[in-house]
Each structure stands twice: as structure tokens, then as C-alpha cells.
Amino acid sequence: MSTLLKSAKSIVPLMDRVLVQRVKAEVKTASGLYLPGKNNEKLNQAKVLAVGPGFTDSNGNKILPQVKVGDQVLIPQFGGSVIKLKGDAEEEVVLFRDSEILAKINDSA
């Protein structure tokens, strides 16, 4: 899925879906050298931008998402629904199911 929208704020995830934006790889090495754009790899770390309300399972239990807006998470290298945003620089956000999120990252560790 590839859609062109104005901003991530216009996207409201439904059910157990989570909208994330990948963290960009460093373009400068520790020694100060700048890396060309095509050599930057996609990281599997992302920031949660929006979270759906959850869903009700077949037993009537409310299943809430495990993450909240602002969380840093690990996502699969592939998968999700990519959404392209137009603006000054074209950006991408990705929509995953909550169950596809691999882990939350705690900065306090």
C-alpha cells in the first residue's frame, strides 16, 4: 500500500494498528565523515506516532495495544503498510498491527 497524504496527523489507526516512523540512520560517522544517502540502511527502530483503540476478541474481552504514542519500538525489517507523506521532503510512515511490533525500547536501561 502506498498512499500520498499531507501529514501523519491526518492518519487515525483503527483497531490494533500502530503508526510508526523509522528512526533515520546517522549520516555522519563517529570520526565526522558524512556518508552518501544510498549507503544509509533502514533501521528497524521506530517512534510510535499514533495508536488505535484496540479490539474486542471473540470472547468479548477488550484487547488494548501494548504501546503508546512516543514509545521507541523495534519493528520487523519488512512488512507493514507504507504511507508516503508529502511536504518539504517526502517522508514515509508505516502502519503495523500491534502484534507485529517486536519490542519496546526503554531508554532508562
Rounded alpha-carbon distances, angstroms, from residue 82 to 18, 25, 78, 95, 109: 12, 18, 10, 7, 31
For the entire predicted model, the pTM comes to: 0.76
CB atoms inside a 10 Å sphere around CB 73? 20
The domain of 81 spans 4-105
Cβ-proximal residues to 32 (8 Å cutoff; 6+ apart), any chain: none
Per-residue pLDDT tens, the chain, 109 aa: give them. 444 555 677 788 999 999 999 887 666 666 777 666 554 456 789 999 999 999 999 999 999 999 999 999 999 988 899 888 876 566 889 999 999 999 999 876 5
- Phi first, then psi: give them for residue 70, nearest 5 degrees: 95, -15
Q: What is the CATH number of the domain that holds 26?
A: 2.30.33.40
Number of domains into which the chain is organized = 1
Amino acid letter, residue 59: N
CB 67 within 8 A of CB 48: yes
